[in-house]
Amino acid sequence: MAEIVFGVGSSHTPMLGTQPEDWDQRAEADRNNPAHPFRGGVYTYEELTELRKGENLATQHTAEVRQERHDASQKVLDQLGDKIRAADLDVLVIFGDDQRECFLLEQSPAFSVYNGEKVLNKVLSQERLDTMSPGIAIAAWTNVPEDHDLEYAGEPELADHVVSSLMLDEFDVSVSSKMPDGPWGENGIGHAFGFFYHRILNDFEACQNMATLPIFVNTFFPPNQPTAKRVLNFGKAVGNAIRAWDSDKRVGIAASGGFSHFVIDEELDQRILKAIANGDEAAIINEPEYSYQSGSSEIKNWIAAMGATQGSGLKFDLLDYVPCYRSDAGTGNANTFGVWS
């Protein structure tokens, strides 16, 4: 039977592909966003700044602090790539989300398993880059190749096995052998996955001998966001399916995204990270669903990975937690990096 031998989680924020002096481009988008979810409320930028003024957050995003935290994040990203290569995996199963890059309003599945022979990562056209909100296009290099499209090996046999097993476990999942076409033609894989391929794994340097299996979780968009409990059980079902696969292959699990953003909430992050480390399912499930909204919804990809790695004898280790603030309102991204080994 196949064996899950390793797990990894990483944030994939555009801030990881942007020099600290340019983080204000994303802060501009924050100021123009009229609805920032935070601890059960929804606030304008001005309201959020007033709410959090007692935290003295200006000290958290000085030029010196920004550079220090940027450098720390880049260091651990390189370490993650090294750790994945050292795990000598045959397959990496990646839990990620789509942000209207591939799955549009016409079709937005709660869960979707990619079962194609190849995974396409496409160069972004200038036309598409021009439509992106401030601070996104400048960081696109972390997710996509710069000058020509790339293909990575999929794992359709495992994908189909996982889907069949999930159906028996009463998860009605969507299946896709290619990304659907969009306004710019055929879509490549979304940034949650592209960040692993391009920034962490350096494309073919690490991918040429390792297949990947992308699994989409709709963390972002109502009305069909699966709850934390549903995601945890989904991850467990995926893990059980992998371990029941009639193969001697070594499989890794990856979680892409998170932690709290676009408003940083360090208390939330520490609660969930402690729960993941301790295998505390009750804490995960009992956290209010309003905590898992906006960018913070990507924490659910880590919850899926937590479920998938259970039963494999792996222990979670937090490599670094780097809250990267970009405004006095506390907006930014709590960069988080960890492994199950």
Residue with tokens 């899950």: 4
309-329 pLDDT per residue, tens: 999 999 999 999 999 999 999
Would you say the C-alpha torsion 78, 189, 147, 210 has a positive or negative sign?
A: positive
Tokens linked to 24: 């204000």
* Ordered domains of the chain (ranges, CATH): 3-340 (3.40.830.10)
Of 322, 68, 101, residue with least CA distance to 214: 101
Tokens linked to 308: 């998938």
Residue with tokens 């007692």: 54
- 0.85 exceeded by pTM: yes
Tokens linked to 266: 């360090």
Alpha-carbon separation of residue 239 from 53, 161, 269 (angstroms): 44, 12, 24
Which residue ranges in the chain fall short of pLDDT 70?
A: 184-185, 204-207
- In this structure, which amino acid lies at residue 176? S
Contact 75, 340 (CB under 8 A): no
193-248 pLDDT per residue, tens: 999 999 999 886 656 789 999 999 999 999 999 999 999 999 999 999 999 999 99
Phi first, then psi, for residue 278 (nearest 5°) are -95, 0
